[in-house]
């Protein structure tokens, strides 16, 4: 399903500067499936080692980390020799073995003919604590939930995916096509992009059963908190995670610590928030008051919004009944547009694989997202319905004079003077110069 990332894996295999690859991403976004398919399709042999299912593997990494020694032991373990170039070595759940992570350095330096990939459900958390992990010795890729275009392809509508992917103007689409895409987006808001949920709906068309799958995934995340976080942080991580729907349902979606408990302070929860971000479960969108390059240098660390990794999981956490899909555009405006903003954050993150920001001017205006792209800053205002109002965007334009102002809404493709409208179903095409 993740065709774009599969292509990046093919480019990694062909690269002359290939290093061991780490695939990051939250639990159940499809990392294992994707890398196994890549190994089966692109190599003569796949050598798969899972450090969670087979804890005995850790013993091979307690002594020498020289690739020659490790390859010999791992070949004996699997009963088949690991060959250079033609065997893909796959270390799964590698966060369970710190020494296996450290060994990637030596594979890079001493075993360049061997192709090695790795993945792990909480790898981002582990890397945050890996003091000796060598910078520059591995390649990184990040896997996100399926975006809306990938969802269309998975639902047997690749023609709609190709239509959006190939847009090169802002001429409105024909009414029936616009309506069909809007209808599909409603279903995406309820189903989201977690591969198991998408695959189940594609076959069975059963939304209540999709919700059961989503709740199972959410329960697995809660178990991860208890298993992998320190005892002192577990309750804080859970409190932050469970507060995300309520935080986004406010008119002002800035994360408010006092919503966790009356006396909560930022310093008490900083580690918990970073744990969720590192685990790939939350997207942090920081505030800037001056949109200058690089945006990271102008971000206020204490002012941010926190979105979930997947709009369908957010709908499940919010107890939104699937029947809302049948109620016109209510799904887009529910909870003060929380699902819509989360969807846009998710789409832009998956498309550009970089941090997002938002801009505020005290008491006067707010632009929901700022994106750095090819040396420029592009503002994007999100409208949950059909609203034409662009006051905040115009304030931003009058103050900073960007070349292009962009809005995403339920309206069709449109260019209104200096403002471009991306339909929500085509927001992955933002930005176009």
Q: SS3 for 227?
A: helix
Which are the contacts of 59, defined by CB distance < 8 A and separation ≥ 6?
none
Name the residue among 207, 202, 216 with its Cα closest to residue 189: 207
Domain span including residue 105: 3-142
| Residues 240 and 91 grouped into a single domain | no
Residues 95, 171 share a domain: no
Residues 163 and 86 in one domain: no
**Are residues 404 and 256 located together in one domain of the fold?**
yes
Cis peptide before 78 (omega within 30 of 0): no
Model confidence pLDDT, tens digit, residues 72-114: 999 999 999 999 999 999 999 999 999 999 999 999 999 999 9
CA 41 to CA 400: how far, in whole Å? 50
- Residue 157, pLDDT > 70, answer yes
Distance CA 329, CA 179 (A): 11
pLDDT, mean over the chain: 93
According to the model, what pLDDT value does residue 264 have?
Answer: 82
Are residues 242 and 117 located together in one domain of the fold?
A: no
Task: Give the whole-angstrom CA distance, residue 357 versus residue 396.
Answer: 14
Is pLDDT of 327 > 80? Answer: no
Residues 133 and 269 in one domain: no
Residues 202, 155 contacting (CB under 8 angstroms): yes
The number of domains in the chain is 2
- Expressed in angstroms, the distance from the first to the final Cα of the chain is 29
How many other C-beta atoms are found inside a 10 Å radius of the C-beta of residue 377? Answer: 19
pLDDT in the model for residue 175: 97
What's the pLDDT band for 7 if we cut at 50, 70, 90?
very high
Q: Give the three-class secondary structure for 80.
A: coil
Spatial distance between the Cα atoms of 49 and 57, rounded to a whole number of angstroms:
8
Pair 311, 175 in one domain: yes
The predicted pLDDT at position 432 comes to 81
DSSP structural state of residue 254: S
Confidence class for position 173, pLDDT limits 50, 70, 90 = very high
Strands (E), 252-342: 282-288, 299-308
- CA pair distance 116, 109, nearest whole angstrom: 13
Flag whether pLDDT at 188 surpasses 80: yes
> Rounded to whole angstroms, how far apart are CA atoms 278 and 255?
18
Cα separation of 21 and 339, whole Å? 33
Cis peptide upstream of residue 304 (ω within 30 degrees of 0): no
Give the span between the Cα atoms of 361 and 290, in whole angstroms: 9
Using CB atoms within 10 Å of the CB of residue 193, give its burial: 0 to 12 exposed, 13 to 18 middle, 19+ buried.
buried
CB proximity list for 93: less than 8 A, separation 6 or greater: 50, 51, 52, 53, 119, 120, 121
**Residue 249's closest CA among 317, 323, 309?**
317
For residues 326 and 358, the model is more confident at: 358
The SS3 assignment for 404 reads coil
Which residue among 142, 166, 181 closes a domain? 142
The conformation of residue 229, written as its DSSP 8-state character, comes to S
pLDDT at 218: 98
- The pLDDT value given to residue 261: 86
Q: Do residues 20 and 116 touch, judged by C-beta distance below 8 A?
A: yes
- Can you give the pTM of this predicted structure? 0.94
Give the C-alpha separation, 400 to 15, whole Å: 41
Residues 126 and 192 in one domain: no
- Give the C-alpha separation, 250 to 59, whole Å: 50
Select from 116, 142, 168 the last residue of a domain: 142
Work out whether strand 356-361 and strand 282-288 pair parallel, antiparallel, or are unpaired: parallel
pLDDT band per the 50, 70, 90 thresholds, residue 71: very high
Which one is predicted more confidently, 61 or 2?
61
Based on its alpha-carbon atoms, the radius of gyration of the chain, rounded to whole angstroms, reads: 23
Question: 402 and 360 share a domain?
Answer: yes
23 close to 139: Cβ distance less than 8 angstroms: no
The answer to whether the beta carbons of residues 380 and 368 sit under 8 Å apart is: yes
Q: Of 126, 142, 158, which closes a domain?
A: 142
Residues 154, 1: contact at Cβ < 8 Å?
Answer: yes
Question: How does residue 127 score in pLDDT terms, banded at 50, 70 and 90?
Answer: confident
* 174, 158: one domain: yes
295 and 275 inside one domain:
yes
What is the CB neighbour count within 10 angstroms for residue 375? 6
- Does 315 share its domain with 201? yes
Q: Is the pLDDT of residue 135 over 80?
A: no
Residue 19, pLDDT above cutoff 70: yes
pLDDT above 70: residue 132? no
Ranking 169-178, 245-254, 384-393 by mean pLDDT, the lowest is: 384-393
| Cα separation, 74 vs 81, whole angstroms | 8
To the nearest whole percent, how much of the chain has pLDDT over 90?
A: 81
Helices (H), 286-382: 311-317, 330-352
pLDDT of residue 275: 95
Q: What is the DSSP string of 116-149?
A: EEEE-TTHHHHHHT-TTPPTTSSEEEE--S--HH
């Amino acid at each position: 399903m993740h065709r774009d990332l599969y292509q990046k894996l093919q480019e990694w295999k062909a690269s002359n500067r290939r290093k061991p690859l780490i695939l990051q991403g939250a639990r159940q976004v499809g990392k294992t499936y994707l890398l196994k398919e890549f190994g089966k399709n692109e190599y003569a042999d796949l050598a798969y080692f899972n450090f969670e299912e087979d804890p005995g593997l850790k013993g091979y990494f307690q002594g020498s980390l020289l690739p020659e020694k490790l390859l010999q032991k791992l070949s004996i373990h699997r009963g088949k020799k690991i060959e250079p170039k033609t065997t893909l070595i796959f270390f799964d759940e590698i966060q369970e073995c710190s020494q296996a992570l450290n060994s990637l350095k030596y594979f890079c330096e001493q075993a360049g003919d061997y192709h090695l990939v790795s993945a792990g459900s909480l790898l981002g958390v582990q890397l945050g604590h890996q003091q000796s992990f060598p910078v520059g010795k591995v390649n990184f890729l990040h896997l996100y939930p399926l975006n809306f275009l990938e969802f269309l392809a998975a639902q047997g509508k690749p023609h709609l995916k190709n239509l959006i992917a190939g847009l090169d103007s802002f001429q409105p689409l024909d009414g029936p096509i616009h309506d069909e895409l809007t209808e599909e987006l409603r279903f995406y808001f309820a189903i989201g992009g977690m591969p198991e949920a998408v695959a189940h709906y594609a076959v069975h068309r059963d939304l209540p059963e999709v919700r059961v799958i989503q709740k199972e995934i959410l329960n697995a995340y809660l178990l991860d908190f208890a298993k992998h976080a320190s005892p002192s942080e577990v309750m804080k991580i859970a409190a932050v995670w469970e507060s995300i729907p309520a935080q986004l349902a406010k008119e002002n979606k800035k994360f408010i610590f006092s919503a966790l408990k009356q006396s909560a302070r930022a310093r008490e929860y900083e580690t918990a928030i970073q744990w969720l971000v590192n685990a790939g479960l939350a997207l942090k969108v920081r505030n800037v008051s001056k949109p200058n390059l690089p945006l990271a240098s102008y971000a206020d660390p204490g002012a941010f919004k926190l979105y979930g990794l997947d709009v369908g999981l957010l709908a499940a956490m919010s107890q939104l009944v699937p029947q809302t899909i049948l109620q016109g555009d209510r799904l887009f405006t529910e909870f003060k547009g929380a699902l819509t903003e989360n969807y846009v954050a998710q789409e832009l993150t998956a498309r550009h694989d970089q941090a997002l920001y938002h801009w505020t001017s005290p008491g006067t205006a707010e632009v929901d997202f700022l994106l750095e792209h090819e040396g420029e800053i592009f503002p994007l205002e999100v409208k949950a319905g059909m609203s034409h109002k662009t006051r905040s965007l115009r304030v931003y334009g009058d103050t900073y004079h960007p070349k292009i102002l962009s809005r995403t809404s339920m309206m069709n493709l449109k260019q209104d003077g200096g403002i471009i409208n991306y339909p929500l179903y085509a927001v992955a095409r933002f930005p176009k110069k």
